[in-house]
Amino acid sequence: MKKLTVLSIMAASFLLVGCGDSATGAEAKAATEHKTESSAKVKAEHKSATTEAKEAATKAVEKTTKAVAQKASEAKEAATKAVESVKEKASSVVDSAKEAAASVASAATKAVAKATGPDGKAIFAKCAGCHGADGKTSAMGKSAIIAGQPAADLEKKIAAYKAGTRNKTGMGMLMKGQVASLSDADIKAVATYISGL
């Protein structure tokens, strides 16, 4: 009996020790679980904070991108307007320069005409068809050769055709039509030119 008692005490103590051990193990497990739980919580919190930060950053980037795009399109518009206004100004400058050049040119032409008088050669161009480019053709087989005649004579004859008072071969009226629009200065100029042919 005594032996049995000792054995049972031993067994009980073994059990107790085992229990104690397992109790400690359970506690440790619980602690570990708690730890894991809280670390998971922390992790989750951390994760959500990261996500929030990410979202905020994304939003900020989007906002910035929009603002940049807006500013860029505004700048583009402004640049386009500036270019247009420069173009308009440039074309108006060109226009006024053209006008100025044209008025200078016409003034120069007038000045030359005033200085030199009407261009006899230019006037004779419409006479050449009948009288010849060298003035040595008998117009329509009727007129005398006009090239080389004294300028004063030619001037008088042409003026007489203009007045309708000259008619040598029945073609006076035809010649009147040819010289009707010539001024006295034109007649003088063309007479001088024909005389020199």
Asked if 126 touches ligand HEC (CB under 6 A), the answer is: yes
Any idea which residue has 């402004």 for tokens? Answer: 78
Among 182, 176, 177, smallest CA distance to 161 is for 176
Beta carbons of 178 and 194 less than 8 angstroms apart: no
Residue choice 118, 120, 162, 179 for contact with ligand HEC (CB under 6 A): 179
Q: Which CB sits closer to ligand HEC, 20 or 150?
A: 150
Total Cβ atoms within 10 A of residue 151 = 17
Residue 139 tokens read as 């117009």
Asked if 188 touches ligand HEC (CB under 6 A), the answer is: no
Any idea which residue has 């003034």 for tokens? Answer: 107
Please choose, out of 16-24, 37-45, 58-66, 154-162, the segment that lies near ligand HEC by the rule CB under 6 A.
154-162
Cβ 162 to ligand HEC, closest distance in Å? 10
Residue choice 147, 151, 159, 174 for contact with ligand HEC (CB under 6 A): 174
Asked if 178 touches ligand HEC (CB under 6 A), the answer is: yes
Cβ 116 to ligand HEC, closest distance in Å? 19
CA distance 142 to 38: 133
- Taking phi over 0 as left and psi of -120 to 50 as alpha, with beta for the rest, 150 belongs to beta
Contacts with ligand HEC, residue ranges (CB under 6 A) = 126-127, 129-131, 139-140, 142-144, 146, 154, 157-158, 166-172, 174-175, 178-179, 190
